[in-house]
Amino acid sequence: MSDSSPIRVPPFGRKEIGIALLICALTALIIGYKVYVLGYSMASLQQEDGYLVALQMDVAGNGRACEVKVTLPVNSDRQVIKHEKQVSESFRYTISPGRIGRWYNTSFPGNATLNYSCLAQTEAKRYALPEGADIPTTYSLRLQGDLVPEERTQSTDPAIVAKALELAPPGTNLKTTLEKIFNFCQRDLRYLEVKGPTDALTALKLGEASCNGKVRLMVAMLRAKGIPARMANGLILERSRKRTTHAWAEAWVGDSWVPFCPTNDYFARIPESYLELAKGDVAVITRSRNIGFDWKWTVRHQLSTREKAVVANVDHPLNILRVWTTLKDYHVSLDLIMVILMIPIGATVVAFARNVVGVVPYGTFMPTLVAVSFRDTGFVFGAIMFTTVMVVAVSINYMLMKLRLLHIPRLTIIITVVVLSILGVSVLCIKAGLTNGAAVSLFPMAILSLTSERFTQTMILDGAKDAVKRLLITFLVSGACYLAIDWTALQMVVVAFPEILFVNVAINLVIGSWTGLRLVELRRFRDLPPEEAAP
């Protein structure tokens, strides 16, 4: 008697699993060879945002004693200094408790280059000024030095005193006095870029000055009004090479120093881009007079962790991403290459959702493209954009289908509506404080337009319930793709070892050979009787 028991088919193809294992083994060999033989490394997953600040000083000595001093940045409530380094040739180096870096040589006849660098992490800060408070009449002894005139801050000069009284007559409260003097230095004192320092009196007489002249005049007038004030020096953290620093003012308000920058219009606040180096009207760099001396500051944004992973292995022959170091000169960003590399991983999520889980979103790989757009906007704003655009586009599409329009003109109208919808949502979100609204990517417009058309057709043919269900599935699968594509650890692995995408191929070989029930079908057929055992 023949065996009538059912033939059991394995859920995955054996041949496909074998090929997948072979691919994984070869990938592991390639990665192992690159790590243990070629010395590949992967950058730390902990990214440190900030700016790399470097000072290069070229010194030419004449055989005499030589000294260079630099006021170094300090840690404060709004800036953190990390990873300080200095390299000096033939010079000794010390740092005083007051953060003065000193390079010196008792007898230096030649040429040398002195280097200092650090990672600066700064943040913006705003200060609340008391409403209606009078200017105090007494201050502690430690503030007395910030009330008296200095060589270039002539706070007792009759012209400066008269101007301060004109702007803020007796009886004017503290906040209004600060506003009046700040507005004069910011608006009425023209900005003029000049070399060398400009004192407060000269700035007032000329009606124009650079940043240091504007600040000295503001400090002088505040002191003339009995408000402790001082000058602050630092760097503007922008990608550049420069020999100049920037100056702003600080006034004592309440129990703290409050910053004011009349040059760039920052009232009672300091932006993230300001790195403080020195307090008071002092030079950031001083040096011996009998030497040749030149210097430059270099500021650049901290390399991202992904860029570090590429740069760390740039010289290795098997690093296929070494081409980026050439392409970046033509403004091809690493982020664009990263998106291209991560798209196959997002597509794998869609394949798993369709073939194993058994849910079917709109479009074959549309969720992957939507997920890529979420990387630019952030998931929250991306969800707002997705929902709003779909509601508007579906409404328009539903109305257009009642007209006798050809497919392409109808789709063009929908794309037009999508463009306007995205622009409108972006403006509203920016006004509401959701700044990611400015980062909307344009390429998903056509995808969303096609999806809205598919949604409308499904709603007409299968009913609103099925259409909404598939739209919700599409959104959830897009979210899963976003989590995979935006996973920092996975990005680091892919950037350091792009051949890991061969493993992605192996995974799809296994998914593609799946012959068992989908996960959603297990629930659908849970009430069926089990197969009878073979005799």
What DSSP letter does each residue of 273-327 carry, written as one string? TEEEEEESS--SEEE-TTSEEEEEEEEEEPPPHHHHHHHHTTT-TT-GGGGHHHH
Say if 135 falls within a structural domain.
yes
Choice between 45 and 472, residue whose per-residue pLDDT is larger: 472
Say if strands 292-301 and 240-242 run parallel, antiparallel, or are unpaired.
antiparallel
Taking the C-alpha atoms of residue 251 and residue 229, their distance in angstroms, rounded to an integer, is 4
Per-residue pLDDT of 129-176, as tens digits, reads 999 999 999 999 999 999 999 999 999 999 999 999 999 999 999 999
Is residue 488 within 8 Å of residue 427, measured between CB atoms?
Answer: no
CATH number where 181 lies: 3.10.620.30
- Do residues 66 and 81 share a domain? yes
Single out the residue of 276, 232, 260 nearest to residue 175, CA to CA. 260
Q: Give the pLDDT of residue 535.
A: 40
Residue 392: pLDDT band (50, 70, 90) is confident
Place of tokens 């007209």: 403
Q: Model confidence at 186, in pLDDT bands (50, 70, 90)?
A: very high
Asked if pLDDT for residue 497 goes beyond 70, the answer is: yes
The answer to whether residue 315 is domain-embedded is no
Q: Are residues 219 and 240 in the same domain?
A: yes
Checking DSSP bridges between strand 100-105 and strand 92-95, what pairing results, if any? antiparallel
Choose between 529 and 400: higher pLDDT: 400
Question: Which H helix or E strand runs over 53?
Answer: strand 51-60
Domain membership of residue 485 (yes or no) is: yes
pLDDT category of residue 303 using cuts at 50, 70 and 90: low
| pLDDT value for 397 | 75
d(CA 528, CA 43): 53
Question: Residue 258 to residues 72, 146, 237, 421: CA-CA distances in angstroms?
Answer: 21, 14, 20, 43
Flag whether 456 is in a domain.
yes
Look at residue 443 in the predicted model and tell me its pLDDT: 47
Mean pLDDT of the chain: 82
Average pLDDT on 351-380 reads 80
DSSP letters, 75-123, are --SSEEEEEEEEE-SS-EEEE-TT-EEEEEESS--SEEEEEEEEEEEE-
Tell me, yes or no, whether 348 lies in a domain.
Answer: yes
Q: What tokens does 533 get? A: 């055992």
> What percent of the chain is predicted at pLDDT more than 90?
40
Residues 287, 290: Cα–Cα separation, whole Å:
9
Residue 529: per-residue pLDDT:
59
Give first-to-last CA distance, the chain, whole Å. Answer: 11
The separation between CA 442 and the C-alpha centre of its own chain, rounded to angstroms, equals 20
Continuous segment of H or E residues that includes residue 234: strand 229-236
Q: Is residue 15 part of a domain?
A: no
Q: Give me the torsion for CA of 193, 195, 200, 206, rounded to 10°.
A: -60
DSSP state of 361: -
Using an 8 Å Cβ cutoff, are 174 and 133 in contact? yes
- Contact indicator for 280, 97 with CB cutoff of 8 Å: no
Q: Is 378 or 509 the better-scoring residue by pLDDT?
A: 509
Pair 111, 131 in one domain:
no
Give the domain range for residue 241: 126-271
| 102 in any annotated domain | yes
- Which CATH number covers residue 63? 2.60.40
Q: What crossing angle do the helices spanning 174-183 and 158-167 adopt, rounded to 10°?
A: 110
Residue range 98-125, pLDDT digits in tens? 899 999 998 888 888 999 999 999 999 9
- Residue 115 neighbours by CB under 8 Å, 6+ apart: 54, 55, 56, 57, 85, 86, 87, 88
List pLDDT tens digits, range 412-436. 887 787 777 777 776 776 565 554 5
Rama region for 378: left / alpha / beta (φ>0; ψ in -120 to 50; rest): left
41 located within any domain: no
Using a pLDDT cut of 70, give the percent of the chain over it: 82
The residues, ordered by sequence, that sit 6+ positions from 301 with a Cβ below 8 Å of its Cβ are: 51, 52, 239
pLDDT over 90 (residue 228): yes
Q: Same structural domain for residues 429 and 379?
A: yes
336 and 444 belong to one structural domain:
yes
| Same domain, yes or no: 513 and 387 | yes
pLDDT, position 7: 45
Q: Model confidence over 34-91: pLDDT tens digits? A: 778 777 666 554 456 788 999 999 999 888 889 999 999 999 999 999 889 998 878 9
Query: Is residue 54 helix, strand or coil?
Result: strand
Q: Are residues 153 and 192 in the same domain?
A: yes
pLDDT (average), residues 483-509: 85
The verdict on 492 and 514 lying in the same domain is yes
Neighbours of 45 (CB within 10 A): 12
pLDDT at 73: 93
CA distance 300 to 237: 8
What pLDDT was estimated at residue 324? 58
CB 149 within 8 A of CB 216: no
The pLDDT tens digits of the residues spanning 235-275 come to 999 877 788 899 999 999 988 999 999 999 999 999 999 99
So what's the pLDDT on residue 235? 94
Over 70: is that where the pLDDT of 306 sits?
A: no
**How high is the pLDDT of residue 533?**
39
Q: Are 267 and 260 in contact (CB under 8 A)?
A: yes
- In order of 69, 381, 428, 429, 519, the CA distances from 425 in angstroms are 54, 9, 5, 6, 37
Query: Is residue 348 scored above 70 in pLDDT?
Result: yes
Q: Is the dihedral of CA 163, 164, 165, 166 positive or negative?
A: positive
**Number of domains the chain is built from:** 3
pLDDT tens for 29-38 read 988 887 787 7
Mean per-residue pLDDT, 480-486: 87
Q: Are residues 353 and 258 in the same domain?
A: no
Q: Which three-class secondary structure state does DSSP give residue 242?
A: strand
What local confidence, expressed as pLDDT, does residue 506 receive? 93
Q: State the Rg of the chain over Cα.
A: 33
pLDDT at residue 16 in the model = 87
pLDDT score recorded for residue 399: 82
Percent composition of the chain: helix, strand, coil (DSSP 3-state, to 5): 45, 20, 35
Are both 215 and 330 inside the same structural domain? Answer: no
Regarding whether 199 and 229 lie in a shared domain, the answer is: yes
State the average pLDDT over residues 289-294. 88
The reply to whether 143 and 254 lie within a common domain is yes
